[in-house]
Structure 1
Amino acid sequence: MKKRVTVVILVGFLVILSAIFIPRVQTNYDMTQYLPIDSNTKIGLDILENEFGNESSVEILINDISVANVLAIKAEILNVNLVSSVIWLDDYVDLNVVPIEFIDPSVVSPFYQDSDALLIVNFTGDSYQLELTESMEDVEDIVKNYVVQYRGDLLMNREARTIASGEVTKILFLIIPVIIIILLFASKTWIEPIIILVSLGIGVALNSGTNALLPDVSFITLTMALALQLALSLDYSLFLIHRFYEEKEKEADPIKASKLALKHAFPSITASAFTTIAGFSALFLMDYRIGSDIALVLSKGILFSYLTAVIVLPIFLIWCDKLITKTKHRVFLPSFKKYSIALYKLRFILVPILVIISILGFIYQQKTEYVYGSGSLADETTTLYTDNQIISERFGSRNLSIILVPNETVLQEVNLVNHLLSLENIESVQALVTSADPNIPREFLPAELVSQFVGESYSRIIINTTIDGENAEMYRLNAEIRETVGLYYDDFYTVGMASSVSDIKDSVLADSAMVVIFSCLAVGFIIMLIFKSISIPVLLVMIIQSSVWLNISLLFAQGIQTQYIGYLVVMSIQLGATIDYAVLLTNRYMDFRKTMNPHDSILEAFQKSSTSIIISAVVLSVAGFVEGFFSDILSVTEIGLLLGKGALISGLLIFIFLPPSLVLFDKLIMKTTLHPKGIEKTRN
Structure 2
Amino acid sequence: MKKVASFICKHKLFIVLCSLFALIPAVLGMQATKINYDILVYLPDDIETMKGQDILTEDFNMGSFSTVIVDGMKPKEILALEEEFKTIEGVEKAISVSDITGTTFPIQMLPENIAEKVSKGDSQLMLVTFHDSISSDETLAAVEQMRSITDKHCKIGGMSAMVLDTQQIADQEILIYIAAAVVLCLIVLMLSLDSWLAPLLLLGNIGLAILYNMGTNYFLGEISYITKAISAVLQLGVTTDFSIFLYHKYEKSKQLYATNNEAMSAAIQETTLSVAGSSFTTIAGFLTLCTMSLTLGADIGLVMAKGVIFGIFSVLVIFPAYLLLFDPLLQKTAHVKWLPSISRISDFTVKHYRKILLVFIILCVPALYGNANTEVYYNLNKSLPDDLSSSIANEELKETYHIVSPSIILVDDSLKPSEIEQLSKELNALDGIDMTLSSALFSEYGISESMLPQSIRSIYQNGDYQAILINSTYETATNELNAQIDEVNKIVKRYDAHGIVAGEGALMKDMVEIADHDFQVVNSISIAVILIIMIFVLKSFLLPIILVAVIEFAIMANMAISFYLGTTLPFIASIVIGTIQLGATIDYAILLTNNYLNLRKSGVEKKQAVGDALKESCDSIFVSALCFFAATCGVGFISKLDMIASICTLLSRGAIISMGTVMIILPALLIVFDKIVLKTTKGFKGGKQA
Matched position secondary structure for 2:175 = helix
Matched position secondary structure for 1:490 = coil
Given candidates 384, 388, 396, the residue that maps to 1:382 is: 388
Matched, 1:293 2:299: yes
The residue type paired with residue 399 of structure 1 is S
| Aligned residue in 2 for 1:605 | 613
Distance 1:432 1:326, change over 3 A: same
| Aligned residue in 1 for 2:272 | 266
Given candidates 469, 474, 479, the residue that maps to 2:481 is: 474
The residue type paired with residue 636 of structure 1 is I
Aligned length: 680
For the 8 Å contact 2:344–2:615, the answer to whether it is kept is no
1:435-474 correspondence runs (5 A): 435-436=442-443, 450-474=457-481
Matched, 1:650 2:667: no
1:323-342 correspondence runs (5 A): 323-342=329-348
Separation in 1, partners of 2:189, 2:108: 73
| Aligned residue in 1 for 2:597 | 590
1:148-159 correspondence runs (5 A): 148-159=154-165
Matched, 1:256 2:234: no
Separation in 2, partners of 1:437, 1:381: 41
The residue type paired with residue 634 of structure 2 is V
Task: Give percent identity, aligned residues only.
Answer: 27
CA drift of 1:210 comes to 0.3
Separation in 2, partners of 1:320, 1:659: 39
Distance 1:72 1:517, change over 3 A: closer
Matched, 1:317 2:334: no
| Aligned residue in 1 for 2:563 | 556
Matched, 1:11 2:19: yes
Distance 1:5 1:78, change over 3 A: closer
Separation in 2, partners of 1:513, 1:110: 42
Matched, 1:672 2:652: no
Given candidates 207, 213, 224, the residue that maps to 2:230 is: 224
Give the structure-2-normalised TM-score: 0.91
The residue type paired with residue 33 of structure 1 is V
CA drift of 1:2 comes to 4.2
Give the structure-1-normalised TM-score: 0.92
| Aligned residue in 2 for 1:175 | 181
| Cα-to-partner distance string for 1:80-112 (whole Å, 9 max, x where unaligned) | 44444333332332443x456766665544444
| Aligned residue in 1 for 2:5 | none
The residue type paired with residue 572 of structure 2 is I
CA drift of 1:385 comes to 2.0
The residue type paired with residue 209 of structure 2 is G
Given candidates 553, 562, 571, the residue that maps to 1:546 is: 553
CA drift of 1:359 comes to 4.5
| Aligned residue in 2 for 1:496 | 503
Given candidates 59, 64, 77, the residue that maps to 1:56 is: 64
Distance 1:659 1:189, change over 3 A: farther
Separation in 2, partners of 1:443, 1:93: 14
The residue type paired with residue 629 of structure 2 is S
Matched position secondary structure for 2:495 = coil
Deviates more, 1:349-358 or 1:211-220: 349-358
CA drift of 1:654 comes to 0.9
CA drift of 1:75 comes to 4.5
For the 8 Å contact 2:23–2:211, the answer to whether it is kept is yes
| Aligned residue in 1 for 2:421 | 414
1:85-96 correspondence runs (5 A): 85-96=93-104
Distance 1:26 1:76, change over 3 A: closer
| Aligned residue in 2 for 1:237 | 243
Distance 1:606 1:328, change over 3 A: farther
The residue type paired with residue 232 of structure 2 is L
Deviates more, 1:626-635 or 1:447-456: 447-456
Matched position secondary structure for 2:59 = helix
For the 8 Å contact 1:377–1:634, the answer to whether it is kept is yes
Distance 1:77 1:104, change over 3 A: same
For the 8 Å contact 2:443–2:449, the answer to whether it is kept is no
Deviates more, 1:169-178 or 1:310-319: 310-319
Distance 1:182 1:130, change over 3 A: same
| Structure 1: gaps (5+ residues) | none
Matched position secondary structure for 1:593 = helix
For the 8 Å contact 1:375–1:634, the answer to whether it is kept is no
CA RMSD of aligned residues (A): 3.0
Given candidates 32, 42, 53, the residue that maps to 1:34 is: 42
Separation in 1, partners of 2:252, 2:608: 18
Separation in 2, partners of 1:333, 1:660: 26
Given candidates 525, 537, 544, the residue that maps to 1:518 is: 525
CA drift of 1:148 comes to 3.6
Distance 1:427 1:76, change over 3 A: same
Deviates more, 1:488-497 or 1:170-179: 488-497
Given candidates 137, 146, 168, the residue that maps to 1:130 is: 137
Distance 1:324 1:81, change over 3 A: closer
Given candidates 532, 537, 544, the residue that maps to 2:544 is: 537
| Structure 2: gaps (5+ residues) | 1-8
Distance 1:368 1:462, change over 3 A: same
Separation in 1, partners of 2:71, 2:462: 37
| Cα-to-partner distance string for 1:387-424 (whole Å, 9 max, x where unaligned) | 43334333332421112223343144332211101001
For the 8 Å contact 1:405–1:460, the answer to whether it is kept is yes
The residue type paired with residue 611 of structure 2 is L
Matched position secondary structure for 1:334 = coil
| Aligned residue in 1 for 2:214 | 208
Distance 1:324 1:608, change over 3 A: farther
Matched position secondary structure for 1:632 = coil
The residue type paired with residue 341 of structure 1 is D
Separation in 1, partners of 2:396, 2:587: 50
